[in-house]
Structure 1
């Protein structure tokens, strides 16, 4: 029986223990800071925020390039000869990474690519759904597994509140004026994935604690999320009291499993410190 290997990018913020548990291969994206190129995951996220505090400059990010994907896929094949590779990628609507994977995959056989049209915890939810299916049925045919993954992609829902409008502005998600007004009025935009694009949808006034609670309530009202699992995403700096409150609300709403995911360098560079998000899969 030929083995199936799952892979994704660092922008999924897949917790290391789960990547190891399921044998999921993760290729790093890039963070450009102070003229230097860092592989996502190779430097502490706190360094990004310290750099901003020191220089008032926000690092930029770049996708995994085609050559890196070729090496990545080749290494998987060396470690797992004759395997099938199913790569579940970061949304093609916000990065060239998926297209670079497509280019690299042309050099190989039996590599299947799925555009998750999602990022961070939304992407992780899809990848972990696939990993659990594979764990339950290791003999599943690749085509059948791909069908199931592709069917769940439109059911993955992600919403988050960035910790800093300055960081969000640097990523091109809001205009300068919107950022200025938001800061003055203490408005926190909710960002959601719509057809693979990061779109500002709602606006919340006040402190992060209240905004996070409103976000979660709106999210659970809008989407029929499977109560088996919910993922909470946070960037460094989110108050522990907010985390405790989100856990309480999740339990009150019948979630059987709650998993916190720390935003890595790639996502933190766009969200800023103290951000909060929620991801799950609809029925």
Structure 2
């Protein structure tokens, strides 16, 4: 029986302790800043915020390339001889990373690829679903585990609101007119992952305390999320009182386990500071 090794990208923002506990192998994506290439997961998020403060620009991000995937899969095979790798990838609708993994995997006969059609906590939720199944049944057939993961992909739900629109504006994702209008009216967009794409689905008005409450209520009304586990995502700068408030709301709604995920450099480059998101798996 071949050992199954799970892998994913740094864009999953999978907490380091969980990755180590479940032996999930993580390959870094990239942030380009001041003409230099930095690895996601290594570059401090505060460096990105400082860069924006001084330049009013945001860094660019790039996918894991084909050569990196080849080396990544090769290293896993060396560390775990005769293993089967199940790679759960960052959505192909927002990055070329998954397609690069597909090309790289052609050189190997032990790699199964799954497009999670999700990012950050939504991707982490699928990875942890797979890790939990594997922990419960270490002898599960790779094909069967892969099938169960594929069935869960469309049930991963991610929604978030940015702390402010400065980073979206700097990245060209909102116009100046929309930016100033939203700032004047204290409007924050809700962003959902729908069929692998980031889509603005709603607008909330008010301060971040009020907005996060509305997001949580709407999310739990809209989706029938499994109460066993909820993932709450934040970018540095989110007020601690808001985090406590969201944690309490989740527990009051019957969630047994709540895992907080900090957005890494890749996600923070686009979302900016002070953002909040929710991810979970529908039953």
Correspondence for 1:228: 228
Residue aligning to 2:67: 67
Task: Give the CA deviation at 1:60.
Answer: 1.0
Rounded Cα–Cα distance in structure 1 between residues aligned with 2:134 and 2:234: 28
Distance 1:176 1:7 in 2: 40
Give secondary structure in 2 for the equivalent of 1:117. Answer: coil
Distance (whole Å) between structure 2 residues aligned to residue 172 and residue 257 of structure 1: 37
| 8 Å Cα contact 2:56-2:170 kept in structure 1 | no
- Alpha carbons of structure 1 residues 178 and 43: separation in structure 2 relative to 1, 3 Å: same
Shift of 1:167: 1.2
C-alpha contact (below 8 Å) 1:170/1:270 kept by paired residues:
no
1:158 aligned residue = 158
CA distance in 2, matches of 1:195, 1:133: 24
Alignment of 1:72-221 (within 5 A): 72-221=72-221
1:30 matched to 2:23? no
Q: Which runs of 5+ in 2 are unaligned?
A: none
- RMSD (Å), alpha carbons: 1.0
CA distance, structure 2, for counterparts of residue 146 and residue 175 of structure 1 = 41
How far the C-alpha of 1:162 sits from its partner, in A, is 1.0
- Cα deviation digits, residues 94-123 of structure 1 (max 9, x gap): 000000000100111120100000000000
Q: How many Å apart are 1:166 and its aligned residue? A: 2.2
SS in 2 for 1:144: helix
Structure 1, 171-180 or 109-118: larger mean CA deviation: 171-180
Tell me the residue number matched to 2:53: 53
Structure 1: tracts of 5 or more residues without a match: none
Q: 1:28-63: per-residue Cα shift (whole Å, max 9, x none)?
A: 000011111101011211111011112212111110
Q: 1:113 is paired with a residue of what secondary structure?
A: strand
- Kept after mapping to 2: 8 A contact 1:238/1:273: yes
| Contact 2:160/2:278 (8 A) holds in 1 | yes
Q: State the shift of 1:165 in Å.
A: 1.1
Query: What TM-score do you get using the length of structure 1 for normalisation?
Result: 0.98
- Render the CA deviation track for 1:169-204: whole Å, top value 9, x for unaligned: 344543343222212211000000011000001101
In structure 1, the residue matched to 2:5 is 5
Q: How many pairs were matched up?
A: 283
Shift in Å, 1:87: 0.4
TM-score (norm 2): 0.98
CA-to-aligned-CA distance 1:210-248 (integer Å, 9 cap, x gap): 101100000000000000000000000000000010011
**Dislocated runs of 4+, deviation >6 Å:** none
Q: Measure the CA separation in 1 of the matches of 2:176 and 2:37.
A: 27
